[in-house]
A and B are shown apart, each in its own frame.
Chain A
């Protein structure tokens, strides 16, 4: 008996240790990144770091604005492309399509969501970059190598489709079927029912799916880095090359030890990314929980 109790005691302690590890992980990440970026923060003001465009690490100038701007451009354009596509596809699959189509598509979407981002990157280099460089840019009378904000946004929008679509299907699945039937019984067409009942009822869920998609896209590294060109500049058009924050961190880790405060700057970049994404995640996850509670 005592041996059993002893095992029980040790095992439950171990469980608590494991759980505490995960509870403390984000705190540890935040603390570590803040401590590392303190160097930089003590030498420059926060608004200087964020809004200055002067990026010359060897002279001690660290302006993050070009990177922040690139990140925002590429993520927002990606979302603008994928938002209506996802919504319409979700509406078709969950409302109009025969049941077997949905049953078939659900695992397919799941599997596509699991494809590594580097594979999307390869597709981007092979297909999207030439498409932008040879077809889209000349069409708008623009010279572009193809490695551009637009290419990054296209790849990113395709990547985020399975992720967002999955959440949207879940949103529509949770709308009580009686609501839809009541609307149909009152003489509304199927589309009117979707528009006035399903979309309205699922509005919070749809918004959250977009929000989480945004945060996912913002943190995406390797696929975007492969097609966006990585040139430090404030992009003036979608055909210019950009240099988003995650790419900055990933590209420069090798040389960051050789230039003073460069490592501190990269960790400040990670911290920015971490804080922004954490806040977005908390807000939209909270919205989801609230809407499920009802």
Chain B
């Protein structure tokens, strides 16, 4: 009996370690594949030029249209999402802080919203566009991706705001501030580093999403000049070019994939570095500086 228990213990210890290792190796293999395939395909021409004639038959040019388009789209969507997410996150943490059941309900609801797949957002946005007779455009893409990433942003901001002690809020009211002043002058400043993380996470999600922009942003060989132009994006550029039978075109898909991967990796690593331990430190220095001012 004891021997059997010992064997079982050892067996599962080794098995679970092996599985963890396999998981890590598979995920590492993905990064390795993208980098090794993409690195040789990268060139200055690909980064800096729009597609030229016969591009999709292997002609010259690059994917600047998709790189610039993706940045325009993701930056626009993040800004838009920020403008609507910030009031919601502040609202639930300041106005609704006393209504814990409602608060739980809203958080629950936002988590559920997060689960809706992007293809549904894309399809829904497309029906609206048809209804109003709108074409594929950068603007439509921004609105769709903005709506898609906003729940993520709200919940991430909410997690930061949740940690602010209620005493800070009470102190602010005691000094005669209105709720708005408390929200934007106290809470906003206090949570700023955390907000940067929230925005970056949402940006990373926005720049990598393909299914929602397929219907709404369209695709074009040019860098968009205004909101009503259609725009190319990196995920779609990868998808379309990888489907080509021509080797040179596939190479450019690999190049686009490594660019997208690097962008997303840089963003999520920055987000995590920003987030790490900064909140506490900031609050302490904030309090200390207030005390100093009070003494002087």
Give chain A's interface residues, CB within 8 Å of chain B: 4-5, 7-8, 11-12, 14-16, 18-19, 21-23, 25-26, 28-29, 32-33, 36, 84-86, 88-89, 91-93, 96-97, 105, 107-108, 110-112, 114-123, 125-127, 158, 161-162, 165, 189-192, 194, 212, 215-216, 218-222, 226, 246, 249-250, 253, 257, 263, 266-267, 270, 273-274, 277-278, 280-282, 285-286, 289
Give every chain A residue within 8 A of B226 (Cβ-Cβ). Answer: none
Taking a contact as CB atoms under 8 Å apart, the answer to whether B257 and A19 are in contact is no
Taking a contact as CB atoms under 8 Å apart, the answer to whether B181 and A161 are in contact is no
- 5 nearest CB pairs, A to B: A219-B117, A116-B208, A92-B16, A15-B91, A281-B115
Of the listed residues B106, B110, B112, the one surrounded by the most CB atoms of chain A closer than 10 A to its CB is B112
Tell whether B179 is near chain A: CB-to-CB under 8 Å. Answer: yes
Q: How far is the CA of A57 from the CA of B89 in the complex (A)?
A: 45
Taking a contact as CB atoms under 8 Å apart, the answer to whether A216 and B115 are in contact is yes
- Interface hit among B29-37, B51-59, B161-169, B282-290: B29-37
Taking a contact as CB atoms under 8 Å apart, the answer to whether B178 and A278 are in contact is no
Give every chain B residue within 8 A of A162 (Cβ-Cβ). Answer: 27
Taking a contact as CB atoms under 8 Å apart, the answer to whether A22 and B91 are in contact is no
Taking a contact as CB atoms under 8 Å apart, the answer to whether A18 and B34 are in contact is no
Q: How far is the CA of A88 from the CA of B238 in the complex (A)?
A: 34
* A221-B211 in contact given A15-B95, A89-B23, A110-B272 (Cβ < 8 Å): yes
Taking a contact as CB atoms under 8 Å apart, the answer to whether A285 and B112 are in contact is yes
Give every chain B residue within 8 A of A21 (Cβ-Cβ). Answer: 84
Which partner residue on chain B sits nearest A194 by CB separation?
B12
B118-134 interface bits toward A, Cβ cutoff 8 Å, 1 = contact, 0 = none: 11111110111010000
Q: How far is the CA of A289 from the CA of B33 in the complex (A)?
A: 39
* A19-B92 in contact given A32-B128, A114-B264, A281-B115 (Cβ < 8 Å): yes
Give chain B's interface residues, CB within 8 Å of chain A: 5-6, 8-9, 12-13, 15-17, 19-20, 22-24, 26-27, 29-30, 33-34, 37, 84-85, 87-88, 90-92, 95, 104, 106, 108-113, 115-124, 126-128, 130, 147, 150-151, 154, 178-181, 183-184, 201, 204-205, 207-211, 214-215, 235, 238-239, 242-243, 253-254, 257, 260-261, 264-265, 268-269, 272
Give every chain B residue within 8 A of A33 (Cβ-Cβ). Answer: 120, 123-124, 127
Which partner residue on chain A sits nearest B208 by CB separation?
A116
Taking a contact as CB atoms under 8 Å apart, the answer to whether A119 and B30 are in contact is yes
CB A202 to nearest CB in B, in angstroms, measures 15
Q: How far is the CA of A8 from the CA of B154 in the complex (A)?
A: 21
Q: How far is the CA of A117 from the CA of B208 in the complex (A)?
A: 7
CB B184 to nearest CB in A, in angstroms, measures 8
CB A121 to nearest CB in B, in angstroms, measures 7
* A114-B30 in contact given A32-B127, A191-B8, A274-B120 (Cβ < 8 Å): no
Q: A112-B27, A212-B115, A215-B115 are in contact. List 15 more A-B contacts (CB 8 A).
A: A7-B178, A11-B184, A14-B87, A15-B91, A22-B109, A88-B19, A92-B17, A107-B272, A115-B30, A115-B261, A122-B254, A123-B33, A158-B27, A221-B117, A222-B239
* A4-B113 in contact given A18-B84, A88-B16 (Cβ < 8 Å): no
Q: How far is the CA of A222 from the CA of B122 in the complex (A)?
A: 13
